[in-house]
Structure 1
Amino acid sequence: MSMESANQEVWIGVDVGTTGVRAIAYTADGTNVCSAEAFYPLLTPHPDWAEENPLQIYESVEQVIRQTADQLRYKNKELCGVALSTVMHSFAGLNADKEPLMDMQTWADSRSVDIVKEMKKDPDLCRSFYERTGCPIHASYPFTKIIWLHRHQPDLFKQMKFVGSIKDYMFYKMTDQWVIDKSTASTSGMYNEQTLAWDEDILAYAGIDISYMPPVVSTTYSHPLSASAAAAMHLPAGLPIVIGATDGVLVNVGIGAVQPGQLSATIGTSGAFRMLTRQPKTDPNMRTWCYNLTDDMWVAGGAINNGGMILRWVRDKICHYGGSKLEDLDIDPYDLMTMKAEHIDAGADGLICLPCFTGERAPYWNSELRGMFFGLSLNHSRSHIIRAVMEGVCYSLNSVLLALQEFGDIKDIRVSGSFTKSHLWLQILADVFNKTLTLPDNSEGAAYGAAVLGFISQGKMQSIADTASLVKAKKLYAPIEENVATYEQLFGIFARLYNKLQDEFAEITAYQKKI
């Protein structure tokens, strides 16, 4: 096959995120041919709850695939298939027809925090489960969400016939086949990474058995698109649908961070640090997780709960930049916020944000953490708050980096996610890490990573390592020495705030639950 004909072949990578979905058509060399995106709400009806409607998400997925397919018809490109990337740690009980009985609990849902506290009274149990699954005991994982449903909504639990995630639900709606990929299974807290099968002891602890669980397949597994789904998406029936992996691990593939010593740093709604490893790798201190990517590749890392969602909170609740006023003036509210923050010196004049509004995952794995601003004084303004939030998210990621450094030397940190649109935020991250960051020419990592799995399934690419030479550096961000010294001092205070306020965080969480 000639290079010209190869460049006419595309896969659509669909990246289903926490609050929105993108469909991007890629050629094998990473060229973005066309795209579409749609958004949906995160529902928070009670403290600690964070839910979404699976059907609403699926309708958004249909919409963006349909719009992308329509664009492709005018571009002389051959669509080879669709590959999926979805957000991690989702759970919804399904009925006998595999339809949701409830809104889907997302990774940010921490209503099972009391169950986690109870389990952590038995350190040996927690370590055993962690070493078998690569998942620390935490409220973000479907494992603890199932236990919560069993205890607090027993009638719904009795109606549940299958344990669902957004990935298997999407794939089922598109292909009429109910399976789950190894990557999504490994983020559930119930998949044994040594035996590569559902851990029946852990399932029994959660009150279910293996009949509830979907069969596990490789991340390059494909099945034909059903006729009904094809009609809704303006695609041909029988088109290959590759089940793909989770968004977090696919980022490394999409931005070319696939060699030893290369890490990916992402800030989107949440945030994460990740590195590839040939075998499942766990941390003696249980600070990091390890999830599957392909049959012979795993990703070790740590995710923080609170990334861009906190800046969105500032946009809506502090700056009141939501709504249509700025849109009418053709002004991006985040550009305006960045401009205001740029006028504030590094360190935000001593204002520190602990951005744990929805608890925290790595490295603390503590759902009882809450957000706070420390050091407020009368000279602080909204501009200070904006900058302090940006810095606080970077402090949280730095805590994860300190844990991952123990896995090996770090030679290259590549960045991705919505925060890469902000040069200020990228510079803050470089200064906090005191390391040079690489901004790749493709910052939509998960969608391209999904498309790569499509090309691999088709035999048009050999492995995920092929992206190392395809993704180039767009810009480098070197740390500024003066800012590094400021952030080293303030990060020390940031870290001590967490350690010294454990009882107070637990008390305020208990108080908020009564509201």
Structure 2
Amino acid sequence: MQKERWGDCVWIGVDIGTTGVRAIAYQPDGQKLSSAEVLYPLDTPHPDWAEQNPAQIYNAVESVVKDTADALRYKGKILAGVALSTVMHSFAAMDADKNFLTNMMTWADSRSSDIVKTMKLDAELCNRFYQKTCCPVHACYPMTKILWLRKHHPDLFGRMSYVSSIKDYVFEHFTGEWVVDKSVASSSGLYNAANLQWDTDILQYLGITETALPQVVATTYHQAILPTAAQRMHLPNGIPIVIGATDGVLVNVGIGAVQQGQLSATIGTSGALRMLTAVPKVDPKGRTWCYNLTDDMWVAGGAINNGGIVMRWMRDKVCHYGSAQMENLDVDAYDLMTMKAGRVAAGSDGLLLLPFFTGERAPYWNSDLRGMFFGLSLNHGRSHMIRAAMEGVCYSLNSVLLALRDFGDVQDIRVSGSFTKSPLWLQIMADVFGETLTLPDNSEGAAFGAAVLGFISTGIIHSIEDTASLIQPKKIYTPQVENAAVYAKLYDIYDRLYWNVQQEFSDLVAYQKTI
């Protein structure tokens, strides 16, 4: 299709995240035409719980799609379709009538950590499941959440007829068809990456059958929208809804990290490093995961639990920068924190933060962890703690980068997420990694990635590799040699510290659970 006609091929990419949903209308060249966003809460009623009301999320999805569609209509643009991106690892139990028996447990929910600990006593079992699914055994995955439900609520488990995620729930309400994409399936801990089917061995271990799970379809699969849903969202009748993929794998597409040797580095609420691969890959040390993107493309990587959520904790609990206070000063709290951290030298004068506030996923896959400042002395103040938090999150991601280097040479790292608003944090990452970072001109990776799958589904774009030429660098960050040397020395201490306090972490977490 000629570029002059691209304006007639507008798709809305819907990015359903942990704390909010965003809808953005794109042309195939990446030009953004309109957008809308709605936030929703993450409920933590008990320690280790992190759940949400799926109906509340769905209502937010309809709201942003309607507002984006209305804006397009005002501009005289014709909408071609809607494509979905969702968070990974969500799980909710449904009864025979598809009424929810539980809230939607999110990736951050670690209530099954004790079950995981017991499973890990059988190393052969855990390795077998990892080899099958490319998902390390961890509390973030729906597989362990189902085990928790069976153990602690056998009455609800007995009534559970269907296993649901936020993706299949939204797609069914859009189209009337209950299916799930390969990307969500492959990030569940229930899906065999080799034969591309729900794994019967694991389902038997859980005590469920394949009838409880939706049919798995390609990430470019689409169905026409239901007339009632189209009416509510002011969409054209019969418009295609592409099921899409997960936000994690779509970030690479959205920021153009689609060639061999290219990685995406993201820090939002959490954080992740990801690289594309033609086949499913497992790490001999079990440090990484691998999820599906398209029929012939996979994404290997590792996600950390604690990214921007650490800075939010610093803002609220350490700095006490309340919203009303910041509004009176007409200053953004994070800008103020960045300014204060910028006055501290690289390495925070020897202060380290192990940022494991909510346990950790890659590369340790250990829920028995908590945050720890190490090296505090009387000369350290809030500014040191802020910078140490930024550095600690980058140390955590660096441990994932070391694992991914075993899969191939790193030639380009592209960044996305809310942390890209902080030039200081970007420079710290470049220095910690010892690698050049590229900040793309498109920072809304998952939403554009979803739209790309829409374009591919209708032949407007031929493959995800075509996005490489659409995303241009906005700024390049190169490592500062002196700072990189400081961080290399401190990362070595950070890594040894983690391994030397394993029992203390475990004992402390056990005590916290008694409170």
Q: Does 1:273 align with 2:273?
A: yes
Aligned to 1:365: 365
Q: Does 1:153 align with 2:150?
A: no
Aligned residue for 1:109, secondary structure, equals coil
Residue identity in the other structure for 1:451:
A
Task: Tell me how far apart the structure 2 counterparts of residues 4 and 192 of structure 1 sit (CA, whole Å).
Answer: 43
Aligned to 2:243: 243
Task: Tell me how far apart the structure 1 counterparts of residues 380 and 8 of structure 2 sit (CA, whole Å).
Answer: 54
Provide structure 2 residue ranges, at least 5 long, that are not aligned to the other structure: none
Q: Does 1:168 align with 2:172?
A: no
Deviation at 1:45, TM superposition (A): 1.3
Task: Tell me how far apart the structure 1 counterparts of residues 385 and 41 of structure 2 sit (CA, whole Å).
Answer: 25
> Given that residues 308 and 419 in structure 2 are in contact (C-alpha distance below 8 angstroms), is that contact kept between their aligned partners in structure 1?
yes
Deviates more, 1:292-301 or 1:170-179: 170-179
> Given that residues 426 and 477 in structure 2 are in contact (C-alpha distance below 8 angstroms), is that contact kept between their aligned partners in structure 1?
yes
Q: Deviations over 1:328-347 (max 9, x none)?
A: 54422111111111111111
Aligned residue for 1:243, secondary structure, equals strand
The Cα RMSD (Å) is 1.1
Q: Deviations over 1:35-58 (max 9, x none)?
A: 111111111111111111111111
Task: Tell me how far apart the structure 2 counterparts of residues 190 and 167 of structure 1 sit (CA, whole Å).
Answer: 16
Aligned to 1:119: 119
Task: Tell me how far apart the structure 1 counterparts of residues 85 and 303 of structure 2 sit (CA, whole Å).
Answer: 17
Task: Tell me how far apart the structure 2 counterparts of residues 207 and 233 of structure 1 sit (CA, whole Å).
Answer: 39
Task: Tell me how far apart the structure 2 counterparts of residues 143 and 362 of structure 1 sit (CA, whole Å).
Answer: 17
> Given that residues 12 and 26 in structure 2 are in contact (C-alpha distance below 8 angstroms), is that contact kept between their aligned partners in structure 1?
yes
Aligned residue for 1:324, secondary structure, equals helix
**Compared CA separation, residues 225 and 108, structure 1 to 2 (3 A):** same
Q: Deviations over 1:422-473 (max 9, x none)?
A: 1011000000001100111111111100000000001111010100111111
Aligned to 1:15: 15
> Given that residues 14 and 82 in structure 1 are in contact (C-alpha distance below 8 angstroms), is that contact kept between their aligned partners in structure 2?
yes
Query: How do 1:123-134 residues align onto structure 2 when only pairs under 5 Å count?
Result: 123-134=123-134
Deviation at 1:513, TM superposition (A): 1.3
Q: Does 1:43 align with 2:34?
A: no
Task: Tell me how far apart the structure 2 counterparts of residues 207 and 317 of structure 1 sit (CA, whole Å).
Answer: 43
Deviates more, 1:500-509 or 1:315-324: 315-324
Task: Tell me how far apart the structure 2 counterparts of residues 21 and 9 of structure 1 sit (CA, whole Å).
Answer: 23
Aligned to 1:436: 436
Deviates more, 1:72-81 or 1:125-134: 72-81
Deviation at 1:174, TM superposition (A): 1.3
> Given that residues 273 and 303 in structure 1 are in contact (C-alpha distance below 8 angstroms), is that contact kept between their aligned partners in structure 2?
yes
Identity of aligned residues (%): 68
Query: How do 1:27-426 residues align onto structure 2 when only pairs under 5 Å count?
Result: 27-426=27-426
Residue identity in the other structure for 1:484:
A
Task: Tell me how far apart the structure 2 counterparts of residues 384 and 283 of structure 1 sit (CA, whole Å).
Answer: 36
Aligned to 1:466: 466
Task: Tell me how far apart the structure 1 counterparts of residues 185 and 307 of structure 2 sit (CA, whole Å).
Answer: 24
Deviation at 1:70, TM superposition (A): 1.1
Deviation at 1:389, TM superposition (A): 0.8
Task: Tell me how far apart the structure 1 counterparts of residues 253 and 290 of structure 2 sit (CA, whole Å).
Answer: 16
Aligned residue for 2:74, secondary structure, equals coil
Q: Deviations over 1:143-187 (max 9, x none)?
A: 000000000011221221100111111111211111000000000
Residue identity in the other structure for 1:42:
L
Task: Tell me how far apart the structure 2 counterparts of residues 423 and 2 of structure 1 sit (CA, whole Å).
Answer: 37
Task: Tell me how far apart the structure 2 counterparts of residues 109 and 276 of structure 1 sit (CA, whole Å).
Answer: 27
> Given that residues 267 and 416 in structure 1 are in contact (C-alpha distance below 8 angstroms), is that contact kept between their aligned partners in structure 2?
yes
> Given that residues 48 and 110 in structure 1 are in contact (C-alpha distance below 8 angstroms), is that contact kept between their aligned partners in structure 2?
yes
Give the TM-score normalised by the residue count of structure 2. 0.98
Deviates more, 1:87-96 or 1:215-224: 87-96
Count the aligned residue pairs.
515
Deviation at 1:188, TM superposition (A): 0.3
Residue identity in the other structure for 2:256:
G
Task: Tell me how far apart the structure 1 counterparts of residues 311 and 21 of structure 2 sit (CA, whole Å).
Answer: 19
Aligned to 1:478: 478
Task: Tell me how far apart the structure 2 counterparts of residues 148 and 318 of structure 1 sit (CA, whole Å).
Answer: 34
Aligned to 2:427: 427
> Given that residues 66 and 233 in structure 2 are in contact (C-alpha distance below 8 angstroms), is that contact kept between their aligned partners in structure 1?
yes
> Given that residues 8 and 76 in structure 1 are in contact (C-alpha distance below 8 angstroms), is that contact kept between their aligned partners in structure 2?
no
Deviation at 1:289, TM superposition (A): 0.4
Deviation at 1:2, TM superposition (A): 4.2
Deviation at 1:231, TM superposition (A): 2.2
> Given that residues 264 and 415 in structure 1 are in contact (C-alpha distance below 8 angstroms), is that contact kept between their aligned partners in structure 2?
yes
Task: Tell me how far apart the structure 2 counterparts of residues 170 and 320 of structure 1 sit (CA, whole Å).
Answer: 37
Deviation at 1:390, TM superposition (A): 0.6
Deviation at 1:99, TM superposition (A): 3.1
Deviates more, 1:144-153 or 1:321-330: 321-330
Task: Tell me how far apart the structure 2 counterparts of residues 264 and 258 of structure 1 sit (CA, whole Å).
Answer: 9
**Compared CA separation, residues 328 and 39, structure 1 to 2 (3 A):** farther
Aligned residue for 1:488, secondary structure, equals helix
Q: Deviations over 1:281-308 (max 9, x none)?
A: 1111111101000000001111111101
Provide structure 1 residue ranges, at least 5 long, that are not aligned to the other structure: none
Q: Deviations over 1:195-216 (max 9, x none)?
A: 1000011011112111110000
Deviation at 1:228, TM superposition (A): 2.2
Task: Tell me how far apart the structure 2 counterparts of residues 172 and 384 of structure 1 sit (CA, whole Å).
Answer: 49
> Given that residues 35 and 68 in structure 1 are in contact (C-alpha distance below 8 angstroms), is that contact kept between their aligned partners in structure 2?
yes
Residue identity in the other structure for 2:348:
A
Aligned to 1:448: 448
Residue identity in the other structure for 1:198:
W
Residue identity in the other structure for 1:319:
C
> Given that residues 6 and 29 in structure 2 are in contact (C-alpha distance below 8 angstroms), is that contact kept between their aligned partners in structure 1?
no
Deviation at 1:378, TM superposition (A): 1.9
Task: Tell me how far apart the structure 2 counterparts of residues 64 and 313 of structure 1 sit (CA, whole Å).
Answer: 28
Aligned residue for 1:7, secondary structure, equals helix
**Compared CA separation, residues 144 and 345, structure 1 to 2 (3 A):** same
Task: Tell me how far apart the structure 2 counterparts of residues 97 and 389 of structure 1 sit (CA, whole Å).
Answer: 47
Residue identity in the other structure for 1:297:
M
Residue identity in the other structure for 1:495:
D
> Given that residues 287 and 364 in structure 1 are in contact (C-alpha distance below 8 angstroms), is that contact kept between their aligned partners in structure 2?
yes
Task: Tell me how far apart the structure 2 counterparts of residues 25 and 331 of structure 1 sit (CA, whole Å).
Answer: 30
Q: Deviations over 1:362-400 (max 9, x none)?
A: 110101111111111222222111111111000000000
Aligned residue for 1:303, secondary structure, equals strand
**Compared CA separation, residues 280 and 2, structure 1 to 2 (3 A):** closer
Task: Tell me how far apart the structure 2 counterparts of residues 378 and 98 of structure 1 sit (CA, whole Å).
Answer: 58
> Given that residues 101 and 156 in structure 1 are in contact (C-alpha distance below 8 angstroms), is that contact kept between their aligned partners in structure 2?
yes
Task: Tell me how far apart the structure 2 counterparts of residues 502 and 439 of structure 1 sit (CA, whole Å).
Answer: 36
Give the TM-score normalised by the residue count of structure 1. 0.98
Aligned residue for 1:49, secondary structure, equals coil
